[in-house]
Amino acid sequence: QVQLVESGGGLVQAGGSLRLSCAVSGRTFSNGAMGWFRQASGKEREFVAAVTWDDGNTYYADSVKGRFTISRDNAKNTVYLRMNSLKPNDTAVYYCAADPYGSASKSKYNYNYWGQGTQVTVSS
């Protein structure tokens, strides 16, 4: 059974930084991709960033490009999201997701497995 567990969320002031982690258990992915999505209150879940397991190619939403960095540690089966220069509109629940077969899609419908989410709150 595949499980994804996020950690690292919290409350931070605007301009601050956080690093989210997503630990994957129950399966080792040699292919496919991992993604980070977020959902603000009352809004749709949206793509943030994705990385492929094999070659580490990364993809970002325009709203976070240059501020967020996604990375993966294949040995630890863990994916990270480093978030710098945080803004109040980055406030959301952040979810990691696994797509065992794809190539880092921006569509949430391509991801088969999801974590429970971690809250990120950015105060102004």
β-pairing, 10-13 vs 118-123, is parallel
| pLDDT given at position 1 | 87
> Which has the higher per-residue pLDDT, 20 or 74?
20
User: With 90 as the cut, is the pLDDT of residue 105 above it?
Assistant: no
The share of the chain scoring above pLDDT 90, in percent, equals 86
Mean pLDDT for the stretch of residues 41-62: 96
| pLDDT given at position 30 | 76
Residues 6+ apart with CB under 8 A from 12: 18, 86, 120, 121, 122, 123
Mean pLDDT for the stretch of residues 87-102: 95
| pLDDT given at position 48 | 98
| pLDDT given at position 101 | 86
- Measured CA distances, 77 to 11, 55, 109 (Å): 26, 14, 22
Q: What is the mean pLDDT of the chain?
A: 95
DSSP letters for 89-100: GG-EEEEEEEES
Mean pLDDT for the stretch of residues 68-93: 96
Residues 6+ apart with CB under 8 A from 34: 22, 24, 50, 51, 53, 70, 72, 79, 96, 97, 98, 99
Buried b (16+ CB within 10 A) or exposed e, 15-30: eeebebbbbbeeeebe
Find, among 35, 82, 78, 38, the residue nearest to 57 by Cα. 35
